[in-house]
Amino acid sequence: MTAASIQGQDFHAIDPPGFFLKDKIAEGTKLIDENIDVLIVGSGPIGATYARKLVESGRKVWMLEVGAQEHRTPGEHKKNAIVFQKDVNSFVNVIKGDLNLLSVPTSKVTSNTLNPVSYSNAAYIQNGQNPNQAPHVNLDNAAATRTVGGMAAHWTCATPRPHPKLELPDTYDSKRWDQLFSAAERLIGTSSDEFEDSIRQQLVKRTLQEAYADDDREFKALPLACKRSEQNKSFVKWSSTATVLGQELIDILKQEPSRAKKFELLDEHLCEKILPVNDDPKQVWGVKAQDLRTGTDKLIKAKQVVICAGAVLTPQILFNSGLDESLPALGKWLTEQTMTFCQIVLKKSLIEKVDKDPYHLGWKKIVEAHRKQFKADPLPFPFDDPDPQITTPVSDKYPWHTQIHRDAFSYGLVPPAFDQRVIVDLRWFGLVKPVESNCVTFEHKIKDMYGMPQPTFNYELSDEDAEQANEMMNDMTTVASKLGGYLPGAEPVFLPPGAALHICGTTRVGTSKTDSVVDENCKVWDFNNLYLGGCNVIPTRIACNPTLTAICYALVGAEAIDKALG
């Protein structure tokens, strides 16, 4: 059936047994039936995990991404550009440009310096603002990144394993999860060795190990998805969607489009809704998407559909598909980490001991060579000395994840007057127990900038979680005091809710659809061929970076899809 012959008809009237949608088909709508085995929505590391495993199994996979492909290598980490590795501070503005806030309360503030002839009305809805968002229960800094690669285009690449008792389900099977984590680490390229040759890495790590020697607290290298360049040890190749896809899939994408291609990526395509089959509501026909460049609607048929659009935009698509009534847990049980932050300037006494090489690590020769070449530099650290990357894992005594390092975020710029080699960032991430009332909801009357139902947050901490956040702050300040004094303007602070960008649980895994959206294989309840992926499927509280755990769930989902396809 051609595109021309379906314009203006009811969706359920075409391609018997047809699919169900109440709308009329818009003029110019294209019907795409390319015998697609799996259609994946979202091009982050989770969508890439599904794609990699399924293409390796011989499946034909298409991927939709609402954002553009900005790099010649699809999904490449933007920080791999040399300019950002020479000046990590400048990468902050890249991150800010990529993050689109999800729910901004309507402002009622007017300007008293506005020209009197200009229009002024505090009640109107500004572009992207949400009049239904109550500020005191908002996730102020919750944001989405719409680009090929998703958040992995600019993420920190931290991939620690979660605490088996505090952060994983009660049904935790150590053997099964160890296998999944090992597979996920290989896929994303996790390493703990890439910064161990850094003078500052060893100085900071050993200083803290000595300070907490009687506490039996572990300070170790932060597991990072990256690999130091073989050609130039000063630079690091940061992992991303491109890493997960692998060179074989990247090469396929660079080939000319053809019906024989096993993998295809359509960027700047907005998935609006899934299309269930009319006479079998448990079966998904495909999706309705919009080519944002042309405005053309596309109806894309697939045997299996996987939504990996992020913890807010995934439930948004399901809501827009009319599944909110049949999935009562949709958007609920939302968790987001509490987060504290500060920056310190290393103690003078610590910097002065570098010349003495107190740990017998060969620093003297390195420092002498640096001083000989740069006589005016007062610091002993070579200019290409890698930044520290250290963590203290989540534990019963310290139930929060920590990152003691130097990296770029949408906050934390170092003033030009300070040499970045003496600055250390401290970021602490706290556990928050999932509760049903913490949620993101949607409604059709208010649209976001893409014409989709506007997300609205309702998020509050329990007294228990608030008290633990206070203890976490106290711990961060204590650790900071071992290393130096606060950088002016970067004293300890709680960051706004959502700043961690680690929202979980909005379509979580479970055993019943009364309190979950997907089963243990990440398949949506009551559907035969609709799967989800992302941090949104994680059902537990989690303090560490959740990407590695989300990849584990995607590996399970990909295996289930492969079996279902036969």
Catalytic residues: 502, 545
Helix (H, G, I), strand (E, B) or coil at 140: coil
> If DSSP states are collapsed to H, E and C, what string results for 152-173?
HHCCCCECCCCCCCCCCCCCCC
Tokens found for residue 26 = 């818009």
Distance of alpha carbon 412 from the chain centroid: 19
Alpha carbons 25 and 10: distance in angstroms, whole number: 7
Alpha carbons 92 and 410: distance in angstroms, whole number: 5
Alpha carbons 406 and 426: distance in angstroms, whole number: 8
Taking the CB of residue 384, how many other CB atoms lie within 10 A of it?
13
Helix (H, G, I), strand (E, B) or coil at 144: strand
Single-letter code of the amino acid located at 318? L
Closest C-alpha to 409, from 84, 76, 80, 95: 95
Distance of alpha carbon 39 from the chain centroid: 21
The percent of the chain in helix, strand and coil, each rounded to the nearest 5, is 30, 25, 45
Tokens found for residue 223 = 């597991």
Alpha carbons 123 and 201: distance in angstroms, whole number: 52
Tokens found for residue 321 = 């598909």
Closest C-alpha to 545, from 158, 151, 139: 158
Please, which contacts does 512-518 make with residues 24 or more away whose CB atoms are closer than 8 Å? Answer: 513/326, 513/327, 513/328, 513/329, 514/328, 514/329, 515/329, 515/333, 515/436, 516/329, 516/333, 517/315, 517/318, 517/327, 517/329, 517/330
DSSP-assigned letter for residue 535: G
Cβ pair 44, 63 in contact under 8 A:
no
Alpha carbons 530 and 523: distance in angstroms, whole number: 6
Single-letter code of the amino acid located at 198? S
| Element holding 465 (H helix, E strand) | helix 463-483
Alpha carbons 110 and 6: distance in angstroms, whole number: 49
| Element holding 565 (H helix, E strand) | helix 547-565
Cβ pair 284, 274 in contact under 8 A:
yes
Omega of the bond prior to 434 within 30 degrees of 0, cis?
no
- Strand 296-307 and strand 30-41: the pairing is parallel
Helix (H, G, I), strand (E, B) or coil at 96: helix
> If DSSP states are collapsed to H, E and C, what string results for 294-342?
CCEEEEEEEEEEEECCCCCHHHHHHHHCCCCCCCCCCCCCCECCEEEEE
